């Protein structure tokens, strides 16, 4: 059961290679996440995204931006809608 304070975030990259690198970075940091198809409401060149649910967004964002600069997008899910936050 998810904590009611947990938020859902989707990280999107422009290549499968970047998704795989991000997966290694997050696993090494002990972050629990899910690889999933990019939601229909969003678009991506590679079609695969990382879904994170929890309260470590800022830490994850900083790690991914450090490695990917402006090559990563982040969205927060609220109901059925996504808001771009990075």
- What are phi and psi for residue 64, nearest 5 degrees? -70, -40
Q: Is 83 helix (H, G, I), strand (E, B) or coil?
A: strand
2 occurs within a structural domain: no
Q: Is residue 3 within 8 Å of 9, Cβ to Cβ?
A: no
- pTM for the full predicted model: 0.87
42 occurs within a structural domain: yes
CATH number of the domain residue 49 falls in: 3.30.70.120
Per-residue pLDDT tens digits for 64-80: 999 998 889 999 999 88
Domain range holding 35? 7-84
Q: In the predicted model, is pLDDT for residue 84 greater than 90?
A: yes
Domain count of the fold of the chain: 1
Q: In percent, how much of the chain has pLDDT > 90?
A: 76
Q: pLDDT at position 5, please? A: 54
12 occurs within a structural domain: yes
Per-residue pLDDT tens digits for 31-51: 999 999 999 888 777 789 999
């Amino acid at each position: 059961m998810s904590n009611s304070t947990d938020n859902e975030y989707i990280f999107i990259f422009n290549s499968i290679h970047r998704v795989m690198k991000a997966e290694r970075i997050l696993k090494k940091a002990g972050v629990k996440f899910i690889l999933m198809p990019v939601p229909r409401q969003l678009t991506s060149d590679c079609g695969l995204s990382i879904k994170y649910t929890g309260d470590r967004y800022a830490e994850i964002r900083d790690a991914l931006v450090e490695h990917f600069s402006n090559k990563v997008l982040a969205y927060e899910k609220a109901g059925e809608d996504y808001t771009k936050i990075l």
